[in-house]
Amino acid sequence: MKLWGGRFTKPTNQLVDEYTASIRFDQKLATFDIQGSLAHVSMLAKCAIITNQEAELITDGLKKVATQIECGEAELTEANEDIHMNVEKLLIDQIGSVGGKLHTGRSRNDQVALDMRLYLRDALVTIATLLLELQQALVKQAEANLDTVLPGYTHLQRAQPVLFAHHMMAYVFMFQRDLERLTDSWKRVNRSPLGAGALAGTSFPIDRSFVADQLGFDAVSENSLDAVSDRDFVIEFLADASLVIMHLSRLSEELVQWSSAEFNFIELDDAFCTGSSMMPQKKNPDVPELVRGKTGRVFGHLMGMLTTLKGLPLAYNKDMQEDKEGMFDTVETLKGALALFAPMIETMNVHKDVMYQAVVKDYSNATDLADYLVGKDIPFREAHAIVGQTVLYSIEQSKYLLDLSLAEFKRFSKAIDEDIYDVLSAKAVVNARDVTGGTAKNRVEDQIKQARQFFEDHETWLQGKITLLKKLIVT
């Protein structure tokens, strides 16, 4: 007999059990389900809804169930549908019928919403920690390459030289926005739905704020219908995760390109590459390739969740069982990618000379020649045309701008003098971009200092949240 089967006259069809059961995947919520139940039982005793003796029995039983599950000794079955009913059945088996009082004043609808929020809080802390480690690895590469110049690209065509450190810092600030989004979402995740019941609240004199405080929530959800039907916090996480992995995918694409023989700008450490079963010379950048490939599944989970919720009437519907697998998979996908990326970036070998040769053997200093002419009181549009003709001549002569003689320069503008060779050097071109956010060395150093302050702020935030979550550990 199902724990809810009192009004039914026949057992559930086995195919229905198999199709509707969620224990296969929602067992990930076991720890959080028990955390929530311990707080709930404490509140029931405080409000004299159950006796202190009953609360002690249930509390001890729940802790034993938690140990059984953690040690793999508990049998979780599809017959009991989900993690909530499995835990309750294990509890009743452990302490007898008094275990049936655990569910007083709550529904699986508010219970699962609570479990999801507890799970996601834990995931946010883990992912934020990993993001911070990746940012720190990028900053280390930036600090080690403050004098390394590489071509900057637009349209995948060489555009202007930049410092490799500047390029690394671009990703630091991308991931900084990701970190800010994830940490900001905490305040929307961190609201307790418990006490909303199935949809309308409960007739028992419960204390929702007590439970919220026990579990470290900032507040309770204000409306019971919204509390059980809301999965905005899941969608927000999936959207934030999509941005994180999109940024990882962009960096992955560059690592794949840069490590090819055609670029040869970097070499990834052997520990983060694989070989070929046929071609013994191969060293494949499988980690960034796979991260790039897994981006689609994270995007898919976001679209799937949006589509699931778009037509649902209030309040809870069985469709909402689809909220879990996509979220679980996204968490694991993101954690796996981030855990690999930080050490892969930190151990990456940067080929400084190759990057420099790429810069001096192109025309990416052409803009500086135009700016030089503007400094000689020539209108920019006129200067642009002069430089375009100079570049065309250089291409026809199989030369680069710095290969031209002063006489050749003067064929296009009498305003050009000997100092042009200093102006067009790679170092001068980079350091000429001495504006806030620019690629000049001192400006990149400013960016690194700014990032270091970000790190301190987020480390403080993380330590506070880690301390909170540790208080809730059951076993």
Nearest C-alpha neighbor of 17 from the set 74, 85, 70: 85
> pLDDT (tens digit, 9 = 90+) per residue, 418-446?
999 999 999 999 999 999 999 999 999 99
* 474 or 58, higher pLDDT: 58
- Is the pLDDT confidence value at 18 over 80? no
- Is the pLDDT confidence value at 9 over 90? no
* pLDDT of 10: 83
* pLDDT of 58: 98
Give the HSE-up count for residue 319: Cα atoms under 13 Å, Cβ half-sphere: 17
> pLDDT (tens digit, 9 = 90+) per residue, 149-198?
999 999 999 999 999 999 999 999 999 999 999 999 999 999 999 999 99
* pLDDT of 1: 64
Q: Taking residues 77-93, report their average pLDDT.
A: 93
> pLDDT (tens digit, 9 = 90+) per residue, 317-362?
999 999 999 999 999 999 999 999 999 999 999 999 999 999 999 9
Task: Give the residue extent of every domain in the chain.
Answer: 5-104, 109-144+160-202+222-357+445-470, 366-424
What's the topology of domain 109-144+160-202+222-357+445-470? Fumarase C; Chain A, domain 2 (1.20.200)
Q: Taking residues 393-408, report their average pLDDT.
A: 96
Two structure tokens written together for 49:
């809804």
Share of the chain above pLDDT 70, in %: 99
The CATH number of the structural domain formed by 366-424 is 1.10.40.30
Question: What whole-number distance in Å separates Cα of residue 138 and Cα of residue 140?
Answer: 5
* pLDDT of 12: 81
* pLDDT of 234: 98
- Is the pLDDT confidence value at 55 over 80? yes
- Total-model pTM: 0.93
- Model confidence at 305, in pLDDT bands (50, 70, 90)? very high
> pLDDT (tens digit, 9 = 90+) per residue, 228-278?
999 999 999 999 999 999 999 999 999 999 999 999 999 999 999 999 889
The residues that are catalytic are 155, 276
The residue with tokens 């960096």 is 251
| 5-104 CATH choice from 1.10.275.10, 1.10.10.10, 3.40.50.11540, 3.40.50.300 | 1.10.275.10
- Is the pLDDT confidence value at 309 over 70? yes
* pLDDT of 228: 97
- Is the pLDDT confidence value at 450 over 70? yes
Average pLDDT, the chain: 95
